[in-house]
Amino acid sequence: MEIAVGSSTYVCPLDWRYGSDEMRRLFILEEIVRRYLQVEKAIMVGLEAAGLAPRGCSDALDKCFEEVRAVDVYSMEAVTGHDIASLTYILGEKCGECGKYVHLGATSYDVVDTAWALIFRDALAIVRRKLMDVVDRLSQLALEHRDTVMVGRTHGQHALPITVGFKLANYVYELSRSFERLCELEKRVVRAKLSGAVGTMAGWLGRGLIVEEAASKYLGLDPHAITTQVAPRDGFAELVLVLAVLASQLDRFALEIRELSRSEIGEMYESEPRIGSSAMPHKRNPVTAERISGLAKLARSFAVAALENIPLMHERDLTNSSSERILIPHIFLIVDQMLEDMIRLLKVVHIDREAMRRNLELTRGAIMAESIVVRLVQKGVPRHVAHRTLMELTRSMNPGTSLEEAVLRHELISKYLSPEEVKEAVNPTKYLGNYSELIERAVEYWRRTPKC
C-alpha cells in the first residue's frame, strides 16, 4: 500500500495507518457502489420473477454496470443531493430498454441497507477469523503456562497465587463469548431489506413478496420479517455494541500487559526490538498494548451514536444516514486494527518467570494468609477469629520476618499447626485450588464453541 506521507491526500488515519487492506477495501467508494449495483441487479431479478420487468433484464444489467464508476455517481450526487437517485439515473440512461425498470418500486434504503448487510457479512467474517487466531494463541499460551505460578492481584494488591495459564484462560473464555455474540447477531443484522417506500411493498402491486424472495435468494440473504422504510436500527446498534464489547475485552488484556510491564513488576512485556523512546534509550514501552487501549476508547464511544440511531421519526428520517457513513466503517476498521495488534502482541509478549517468582516473595509470605486461616478453621478455630488473627499478624510483621516465621512464633496459631503444616500452608504451589481443571474447562469451552 502506498502512503502519501506529508501530503494532503489523507485526513483520517484509518485511510492509511489503522486497519488492514482487506477490511479497508470493503468500505472504499468503488466497493460500496459495487454493492449497490449488486442489490439493484437483485431487485431486477425480483421484478422479473414477479412479471414486473422483462426476462433477461437482470443479465443485461451486467454489461451496463461495467460503465458505472463511483466517481460518476458522486459527481452527480453533488448536483442531485442524492447518491442512490444519482445511481439509478445513470443506470436508467446506460441500460437501454431495461434501464426504465431499474429501481422500480424500490426505495433508496432497499439498496443502502441491503448493501450494508452484504458488507457486514464480509466484514464480520474477517473479524471472526482474526478473533479465532487470537483465542487459539491464548489457548496455546494458557496450556503452556498452566503451572507457571504468579501473583494474583485484586484492587492492585497482592491477593492469592494464581498461574499464568489461569489468567490467560479467563481471556480465552471471555473472548469465546464475543465470538458467540458475533455469530448470533448475524441472523438479526445480515438480512435483506427489500420492501419499498415506508416498507409496505406497494410499488410492486401486490407481488412484493415475490420480488423480495427472488432478490433475497439471489443475494444469499434472508429478508427481514417486516421493516419501515429502513431496516430496524436495533440490529445496527447490536452490531456496534458487540464490536465495542470485543474492543473492551481486548483493552482489558492490553491493560494487563501494560500494568505487568511496569519496571517495578516486569512480569510480562513486549519483547519486540524497536525504539522505546526518542529520548531514553533504555525504555521498553508497551506501545502495541497502548494502541489497543487507545483505539478501544473510540470503539466504546461509537456505541452511543449507534443507540441514538434507533429512535427515528415515524417510518424513517435521515438522522441515521450521516452518522452511519462514519460510524460503520470506523468501528470495523478500528476493531480490525485492534485484532491485528492483539495477534502481534501475543507473538512478542515475554513472560518472565523469574520476575514472577521474585514478586511472589515481596510480601514475605503474607499472600498466603488465607491458606493459614483455612487450616485453622479445619482445626476448630472460628473463621472470624482466624481471620482477625492473621490480619493483625500480617500487618505487624517486622521487616525481614516471613509469614512462616511469624506464624511459628504466634502463641495461638502454633498450638494448632505444626511446623510441617505451616510450611505447606505458605507454599504458593500448594494453594492453587482447581486451577488446572478450570484452565482445561475454559480451553474446552473455546474448542466446543461453534465456528460460524
Residue 199 carries which DSSP code?
G
Please tell me the pTM assigned to this model.
0.94
| Beta bridge pairs of residue 153 | 158
Mean pLDDT (whole number) for 113-140: 98
Q: What is the pLDDT of residues 72-85, one digit of tens each?
A: 999 999 999 999 99
pLDDT higher than 70, residue 7: no
CA dihedral of 260, 265, 271, 274, whole degrees rounded to 10: 100
| CATH for 109-192+222-270+282-359, options being 2.10.10.90, 1.20.200.10, 1.10.240.10, 3.90.650.10 | 1.20.200.10
Please report the pLDDT score of residue 202 as a whole number.
Answer: 98
Instruction: State yes or no: is 155 an active-site residue.
Output: yes
pLDDT higher than 80, residue 5: no
47 φ, ψ (degrees, to nearest 5): -65, -40
List the catalytic residue out of 7, 155, 263, 396.
Answer: 155
Query: For residue 13, what pLDDT band results from cuts at 50, 70 and 90?
Result: confident
pLDDT higher than 60, residue 277: no
pLDDT higher than 50, residue 1: no
Domain positions in the chain? 109-192+222-270+282-359, 366-425
Q: What is the pLDDT of residues 91-118, one digit of tens each?
A: 999 999 999 999 999 999 999 999 999 9
- One-letter identity of residue 14: L
| Beta bridge pairs of residue 192 | 223
List the catalytic residue out of 75, 271, 277, 414.
Answer: 277
One DSSP character per residue, 26-46 reads TTSHHHHHHHHHHHHHHHHHH
Instruction: State yes or no: is 277 an active-site residue.
Output: yes
